[in-house]
Chain A
Amino acid sequence: MREPMPEATRRPRRLAGTSLEQRGDHVIVRDADHNVMLALNESAAALWELCDGSTTIEEMVSAICEVSSIAASRARDDVERTLAEFERAGLLVAIDI
């Protein structure tokens, strides 16, 4: 069983072979076999782009706070909720550096 993800210093990374496809207002995540895994709204799609294995959750939260007027605690909750959704869909691996 995979270990639960979010902690500020973790660096989530997308599974290899996944790809994005714009479809109307949403972005579709496909796995390596082109199966549709998840539909993302624009904020989640932006977060998905940051799941490169080098960006920490804390960096994601700080950047989101810089472009929006939401509090850090709410930004952190949003990020962790979204990452948990990626994780549940089996789309992330997490590495600690």
Chain B
Amino acid sequence: MDSRSPGRMPISALVGGIGAFDEVLAAAQHGEEWAVATLWRALQPPLLRYLRAMCGDACEDVASDVWLESAGRLHRFRGDEAAFRGWLFTRARRRALDHHRRAAREPLAVADLPEPRDPARGGEVERAQALDAAIALLRSLPVDQREVVLLRDLAGLDVEQVAAMTGKRPGTVRVLHHRGLKRLAEGARLADVTPATSPTLSGHDDLLAA
């Protein structure tokens, strides 16, 4: 387990000893702000990165919609932390699909391309550039491969969760994951990906067919 990964870090570790995930979830379901803030701080970064890779510049708006939709149904959720991640990313995926349906009817604008972050803090500049480069490289993948790589390696979902979420068989998910990583490695090795690199959006139509 990578404790640095926001997608795989246990929420209870982010809480700082206040309580386990169940307690945080129960408090959030009762509308306690500290619990809601804990969940948001733990899951907003991977959610935002996933949506950046899937939706581009509209990621923040889509993320807000995902949170608000999830908040309206939070009282119905039952499950552990892994299930909660899958539950949240399922909504994120649906919202991403909706975004792509709308974007497919609109001409591609420059604003849809990922923009390099310009963090003011010194230590985060390189990290932010590396993140932008990684997302740009991910966006060059076909959508189904990109989606599986993101859900597996960013959101931390297992094969069965991704298969249930995407409506594919577990074997298909494994194959897509393997092909996505191989293609990602080839792209990273052959090209010196910089944040200024414009990823192609040709794979968006594939998502609609998925």
Q: Do A and B bind each other?
A: no
Interface residues of B (CB under 8 A from A): none
